Amino acid sequence: MEGLHVAVVERERAALDVAAALDFVSDPHFGGIATFIGRVRDHNVGRRVTGISYDLFVPLALNQFRAIGERALAEVGAPLKLWIVHAKGQLAIGDPAVVVAAGTPHRDEAFRACRLAIEAVKHEAPIWKQEHYVDGDSAWSEGCSLCEEDRAHTHAAHGHAH
Amino acid sequence: MSTRINLFGALREADPRGYVELELPTGSTVAGLSAALVAHLAVHAPAVSASLVRHCVFATDTEILHDHREVPAGVTLAVLPPVSGG
């Protein structure tokens, strides 16, 4: 797919660049850009969070980001430019963890492409979040299983709270 | 055959090297690999929950290999716990 940018950025090398995402998905033919920025927040399930470490299986993640781009293009049925970038490593409160931006001729297509892409990144890409707490403890998030059986089982009941 | 499996997320704690190596009969399926990993970790990393491993999938650099697939020879695999990106 042309007009697709996917990447994994090591936090110690750089922060995610939202301006670059908006620039990439801009086009004279496009009147709509939808953006999702996921940032590290300071609490989860009643615990004070001091930061998050992200672990990624990079080659497969990039492969899946590209597949998600193809799926978004087929789904919206309109010209599309899409940016999917996720951070890796140790992030502080407020750091952007993921940036998805979609540029299309009209707003409906932009919103739909952006939503499809971020939901797929969260539920399908090989990415793991370890939360660090104010008391010095840390824990890996429970997450979504990629097993076929688990996915069939949870699809109906999945609350999408995460 | 010997198969190397790279560890991610919560499973990284199963081995400080970041991978395990398992001996499997040629022609083993991914389901067999999963059972072998559960057995290996029960001995070498008893703190890791067998339930966690049962909710994992195996993958190459390019695709997820579901249970019925044959384990490819000479390829480093990855074991992927439930995911939590974004």
Q: What range defines the domain where residue B73 resides?
A: 2-80
- Cα A125–chain centre separation: 9
The set of long-range contacts for B44-53, using a CB threshold of 8 Å and a minimum separation of 24, is B44/B14, B44/B15, B44/B20, B45/B13, B45/B14, B45/B15, B47/B13, B48/B10, B48/B11, B48/B13, B48/B14, B52/B10, B52/B11, B52/B81, B53/B11, B53/B79
pLDDT tens string A27-59 = 999 999 999 999 999 999 999 999 999 999 999
Domains: count for chain B: 1
Q: Which residue has the tokens 């750091």?
A: A95
Q: Hey, are the CB atoms on A147 and B63 less than 8 Å from each other?
A: no
H or E, element range at A7: strand A4-10
A4-155 topology per CATH: Aldehyde Oxidoreductase; domain 3 (3.90.1170)
- Chain A: residue nearest B34 by CA? A147
pLDDT tens column, B32-46? 999 999 999 999 999
- The residue in chain B having the minimum alpha-carbon distance to the alpha carbon of residue A88 is B85
Nearest to A145 among B60, B67, B82 (CB): B82
Mind telling me how many Å the CA of B63 is from chain A's nearest CA? 7
Q: Which of B6, B62, B64 sits opposite A146 (nearest CB)?
A: B64
Chain B residues with CB inside 8 Å of A162's CB?
84
| B76: in domain | yes
Domain boundaries, chain A: 4-155
User: ipTM exceeding 0.90?
Assistant: yes
Is some CB atom of chain A closer than 8 A to the CB atom of B26?
A: no
Helix (H) or strand (E) holding A25, with range, is helix A18-25
Q: Looking at the domain assignment, is residue B66 inside a domain? A: yes
- Whether B55 sits inside 8 A of A150 (CB atoms) is yes
Q: Which residue has the higher pLDDT, A130 or A151?
A: A130
Whether B86 and A38 have beta carbons less than 8 Å apart is answered as yes
Burial pattern A39-57, b for ≥16 Cβ within 10 A else e, equals ebeeebeeeebbbbbbbbb
**Amino acid residing at B3:** T
Residue B30 domain-assigned (yes or no): yes
- Looking at CA atoms only, how far is residue B22 from chain A in angstroms? 20
CATH of the domain at B71: 3.10.20.30
- Within A12-159, strands assigned E span 32-39, 43-44, 47-56, 81-92, 96-104, 127-133, 138-140
At B26-81, the pLDDT tens digits run 999 999 999 999 999 999 999 999 999 999 999 999 999 999 999 999 999 999 99
